[in-house]
Structure 1
């Protein structure tokens, strides 16, 4: 019977076309179901419903690498690092996103040794792979290791440069290198400018921070808030007030900074905000 169906499908173009359309629609339906299930897993994980995400994951008859990566991210985003590692090692197929996810998960959970091990074992690396490890090393003050990795990068991007600027600015005596690297960056974004401004302020270089802020092409509210902090520390409340007025959406942080600055200001009239 099966032989007859195959024979008919080969000799009858109408039957062959209908059979092909049926197979295509079945495949499309399956792919579409997997796609929507992947989105649902991501949505559940963002809501903190990891158990529900895992239940859906286990019930899926068909999984692709995106499914596995979605579940891996669900564990990582909710701080379940051991679950992330277990799932990662059970994956039938991994891609660069899988490796980057487990590396980032280790970094987020302060497990730099394992992050470095996964990074070294990754068969394929991209900028995100390097950036995850560099950021982790920088955060823990391992500037030399971060610098070595940065120099090994085939194509460092704006995130890589920004992470290194932040790393240099955090260590004693490193602000000069941070400034030099910042100025040498082929491209800067709002985060780069803000990191440099923060670094200068933290090192007490208020005028340099002001100069960099003045050159910032599009000033973000985060950068403005950083500068307000600097002005408050110097007692320059008029400048702090003027910058505060420029913030369109003032959050709790900006309000707390300006109020604290006002309280420590000797001239109450100058510090008043209408």
Structure 2
């Protein structure tokens, strides 16, 4: 009870008053600590438990996953196996969620094979977790294989499959699935409509998107939430209808959130509308003063318009407010191991020399193919050659170089990035996919990018 309302102190007092807590009490305290964010104390308590049943292991693994520590969750799961503890559905749902967070497709496949080997029943919950894992790792084909192979499907299963298609840029397929869902007698919920609206945005179907948004309330009695409004702003913005997007925000019956203004700001950057972009950025900063993305996006808009005084002003504002740009980080899975690369730094990696050689080879090939680095958004008071060096060390470029070295040519290079892919990296990756004849899949903060033969699934809008 105390954990549900965030009263960890009360949980500690209650627990310390128990003379000889049994495994049930200890497991409950582990769950309480993870729920309230004290993951370190939860692990300490877990390690000190004289005996641990499957429920205790599941509580700790789930806690790691929910608190954004997927690697720790997977490591603990492997230890659970080594100790011969019986794995059940709850364990596997947490493991699949951890794989989803990391974009670790190989480990996700292994988890799926483990489920089949141990003949765990594919329940609605487990099946939905498998669909979500494959979709978030960029393998929509396998996600749909799991979906169609399920004997029973509910609204959450359908919604998970639709969301996977939408986030991977397959909007038309998502909308087809929505039609099949209704034909199957499944009534959509608010989660379903988030996927539907995203799909309309990806497919450029503005009129259809507007109709679905209206049907939510008129036909299904679902009151639109902030996420639905954000999808509509993205729908208008992607189509270049920025004035309508702004008008939609101003007419929202609820206070617009940062994500809605963020969708508008992103559209302004793509369509080069500095005036509305300034407004959107300032609105985001009013709501979230430490939102580094808003400052960076506005700075980039100014840079592209060569408005250097405004670029300086934004950066001084960031400095005075203590706002720092989050360092770019890209994760790549090779042979079941997860490799992490940070922007500007590949020297600490054991294969740093090989990575540098590959980066030089990529640069050589792309320049022959006509690639010119887009240096405008980079700091303007350094030389062009330095700007190119800065861009060449963006985290996904380092990860791609490593992938080209280590992964078989037939295997797609799959990368998960914590930030939005910049314009230069997007062009760079498109050209690599053609120059090296490789499929590259990047999951950034906003969506998936499937690069192949010099093209991207996002159609250069992200």
* TM superposition score category, shorter chain reference: 0.7 to 0.9
1:1-274 aligned at under 5 Å gives the runs: 33-77=22-66, 78-79=69-70, 80=72, 81-122=74-115, 123-125=119-121, 126-170=123-167, 174-185=170-181, 186-217=186-217, 218=222, 219-233=224-238, 234-235=240-241, 237-238=243-244, 240-258=246-264, 264=273
Q: Which has the higher helix share?
A: 1
| Aligned partner of residue 64 in structure 2, secondary structure | helix
1:124-178: per-residue Cα shift (whole Å, max 9, x none)?
Answer: 2312222222122223332221221111111122222123223334556x43332
Q: Give the whole-Å Cα distance in 1 for the aligned partners of 2:264 and 2:175.
A: 27
Give the conservation status (yes or no) of the 8 Å contact 1:197–1:226.
yes
Give the conservation status (yes or no) of the 8 Å contact 2:171–2:198.
no
User: Which structure 1 segments of 5+ residues have no match?
Assistant: 1-28
* Deviation of 1:228 (Å): 1.9
| Aligned partner of residue 196 in structure 1, secondary structure | helix
* Deviation of 1:215 (Å): 0.8
Larger relative CO (CA 8 A, sep 6+): 1 or 2? Answer: 2
Moved more, 55-64 or 238-247: 238-247
Q: Which has the higher strand share?
A: 2
Q: Give the whole-Å Cα distance in 2 for the aligned partners of 1:117 and 1:30.
A: 42
| Aligned partner of residue 246 in structure 1, secondary structure | coil
* Deviation of 1:32 (Å): 7.7
Give the conservation status (yes or no) of the 8 Å contact 2:134–2:140.
yes
Q: Give the whole-Å Cα distance in 1 for the aligned partners of 2:256 and 2:243.
A: 17
* Deviation of 1:198 (Å): 0.9
Give the conservation status (yes or no) of the 8 Å contact 1:150–1:160.
yes
1:7-55: per-residue Cα shift (whole Å, max 9, x none)?
Answer: xxxxxxxxxxxxxxxxxxxxxx999854442232123224554332122
Which of structures 1 and 2 has the bigger CA Rg?
A: 1
* Deviation of 1:266 (Å): 7.7
TM-score normalised over the length of structure 1:
0.73
1:56-115: per-residue Cα shift (whole Å, max 9, x none)?
Answer: 123334543321211222333423132332234425333221222223223322222222
Instruction: Evaluate the alpha carbon distance shift between residue 242 and residue 152 of structure 1 in structure 2; reply closer, same or farther with a 3 A threshold.
Output: closer
* Deviation of 1:216 (Å): 1.1
Q: Give the whole-Å Cα distance in 2 for the aligned partners of 1:127 and 1:254.
A: 32
Q: Give the whole-Å Cα distance in 2 for the aligned partners of 1:224 and 1:257.
A: 10
Give the conservation status (yes or no) of the 8 Å contact 2:226–2:257.
no
Give the conservation status (yes or no) of the 8 Å contact 1:72–1:88.
no
TM-score normalised over the length of structure 2:
0.46
Moved more, 147-156 or 100-109: 100-109
Q: Give the whole-Å Cα distance in 2 for the aligned partners of 1:246 and 1:144.
A: 37
Moved more, 55-64 or 223-232: 55-64
Q: Give the whole-Å Cα distance in 2 for the aligned partners of 1:138 and 1:146.
A: 6
